[in-house]
Structure 1
Amino acid sequence: MSLFPPGALAQTAPEQPPPKPATPQRAPAPDARLYIIYPWDGAQVRGEFWVRFGLRNMGVTQAGSAAPNAGHHHLLVDVTEPIDPEDPLPTDNQHLHFGAGQTETKLELPPGKHTLQLVLGDQEHRPFTPMLISKKITINVLPSAPAKTSKKGSGKGS
């Protein structure tokens, strides 16, 4: 004898999907500021050069960390398309990720004009909302200096 009427077990509610994980904090500190320390806008650089990142009123942490009021840097090189604040930033030669919490890097770009801009990303590489983004700067990369040749004598008569 069954305690349930016929078909009762087949009418149970469908299984619910597991709850989504809590959304990480997506808003930057209201007074946070992201900027490029070096090179400055309009700078001329040659060969390999340092890019130093600046951040005020927030912390720098590694990717994947849910530390409050912190994120990690992404350097955009010659990026012209808009950033989608809902998607993780791409990873390619124009979207450089610094997921270990780095605050500087060495770059080597071909000669010519280039733009650099920083975006602070959350633990999932997404921009904060509203986006915390630096001013876009333009630099001019000069051709590398030719190697200096030695002007020593040929050794004859010395």
Structure 2
Amino acid sequence: MRSATLATALLLAGGPLVSAHAEETPAAAFWPAGAEAYIISPKDGATVKSPVTVVFGLKGLGVAPAGVEKAKTGHHHLLIDTDLPTADELGDPLPADEHHVHFGGGQTQTTVELAPGKHTLQLIMGDASHVPHNPPLASKKITITVEK
């Protein structure tokens, strides 16, 4: 990602990051049965040009900005070229860096600059404090190829 694009995305986060080891919200008490996060586009295996528009999908719950505690809502985080948090990390807020882009304003799509080559994309939902649930509500990881 270009630093200006990343900085803009991070500024759009819409809510403060809290210190590590925030109180975890249990998934069973938060997400309704059948809730699902998914990437609408690009499709898994697609070859695209940068900048890449990523459209987020969500089924069975709503989107609320960071800092808003409302039942059965959360906000998206886009994981770029990284894995889901480990079980030990699930009680911590997600970092905000080039691999973890926050959408705390409730956004449901973004455009990112990606270098040519293969990249993975995955969504993970976070609570009002950017903390993923345990188990996390995450999309399938997709792989795309960015061409020059």
Question: TM-score w.r.t. structure 2 length?
Answer: 0.77
- Residues 43 and 140, structure 1, Cα contact 8 Å, conserved in 2: yes
Query: Which structure has the highest helix share of the two?
Result: 2
Give the aligned CA root-mean-square deviation in angstroms.
1.4
Partner of 2:3: none
Deviation (angstroms), 1:29: 1.5
Deviations, residues 76-131 of structure 1 (Å, cap 9, x unaligned)? 00004644211100110110000000000001100000000000000110102221
Q: Please tell me the residue identity of whatever aligns with 1:43.
A: A
For 1:42, the equivalent position in structure 2 comes to 45
Amino acid of the residue matched to residue 41 of structure 2? Y
In structure 1, C-alpha distance between the alignment counterparts of 2:84 and 2:140, rounded to whole Å: 15
C-alpha contact 1:50 1:107 (8 A) present in aligned 2:
yes
2:90 to 74, 85, 88: 85
In 2, Cα distance between equivalents of 1:133 and 1:24: 16
SS of alignment partner, residue 37 of structure 2: strand
Question: Shift of the alpha carbon at 1:49?
Answer: 1.9
**Residue in structure 2 matched with residue 52 of structure 1 by the alignment:** 55
Query: Which amino acid counterpart does residue 74 of structure 1 have in structure 2?
Result: H
Contact 2:24 2:92 in 1 (8 A): no
What's the secondary structure of 1:131's corresponding residue?
coil
The 2-side partners of 1:74 and 1:66 are apart by 17
C-alpha distance in 2 between matches for 1:98 and 1:116: 15
- The share of aligned pairs that are identical, in percent, is 51
Question: Counterpart of 2:135 in 1: which secondary structure?
Answer: coil
In the alignment, what sits opposite 1:138?
143
**Match in the other structure for 2:123:** 118
Q: TM-score, normalised by structure 1?
A: 0.73
Structure 2: segments with no counterpart, 5+ residues:
1-22
Correspondence 1:71 to 2:80:
no
Aligned-partner residue type, residue 26 of structure 1: P
1:76, 1:95 → 2: CA distance?
Answer: 5
How far apart, CA to CA, are the structure 2 residues paired with 1:88 and 1:66?
A: 15
Aligned length: 121
2:35 is matched by which residue type in structure 1? A
Task: Compare CA radii of gyration and give the structure with the larger one.
Answer: 1
Give the gaps of 5 or more residues in structure 1. 1-22, 144-158
Partners of 1:136 and 1:52 in 2: CA distance: 14
